[in-house]
Amino acid sequence: MRIILYQGAVLVLCVVVCFAAAAIGAAVTGPSVPGWYASLNKPSWTPPSWVFGPVWSLLYLLMGISAWQVWRRTGLRAATVPLALFGIQLLLNAAWSGLFFGLRSPGAALLDIVLLWCAILGTVIAFWRRSAPAGWLMLPYLAWVSFAVALNLAIWNLN
């Protein structure tokens, strides 16, 4: 019973850490969406603003579960490098909002998101080696950020 409670607490912690990064991004993003972001030239394939919240919420949940899977399968000591990569990509993720929306710099955000994409790919590979389900759970995130790289690039080019 104690093991189940401990594993559950770590799962909650992993998800909370991911949603803390989401909260930081949302705090920076929210004020800029109706004014500055709305005024940008965007490609025709830009999703409507309401899509981003639900998609990111699902992705952060999957990321937290994925990190927990790696920890649960291998233990903290064996998961140090994969979880460090996970932390790096999470920091780059939060930094993107600050660069794009906070500083209103699509160019700087583009550099960040390319680094983020590389960090996610490294995390996927490292997670996959420890837990195939953890690797699978990170793939939607990699796919979404791949799309976000293209969108960021298009917005940078159009503005």
CATH no. for residue 93? 1.20.1260.100
Q: Work out how many domains the chain is built from and give that number.
A: 1
| CA atoms of 2 and 13, how far apart (whole Å) | 16
Q: What is the pLDDT of residues 63-120, one digit of tens each?
A: 999 999 999 999 889 999 999 999 999 999 999 999 999 999 999 999 999 999 999 9
| CA atoms of 105 and 97, how far apart (whole Å) | 10
Q: Decide if pLDDT at 1 tops 80.
A: no
For position 3, what pLDDT does the model report?
A: 78
Range of the domain at 147: 2-158
For position 6, what pLDDT does the model report?
A: 80
| pTM of the complete model | 0.94
| CA atoms of 107 and 91, how far apart (whole Å) | 18
CA distances from 12 to 16, 59, 63, 135 (A): 6, 15, 12, 19
Tokens 């700087």 belong to 108
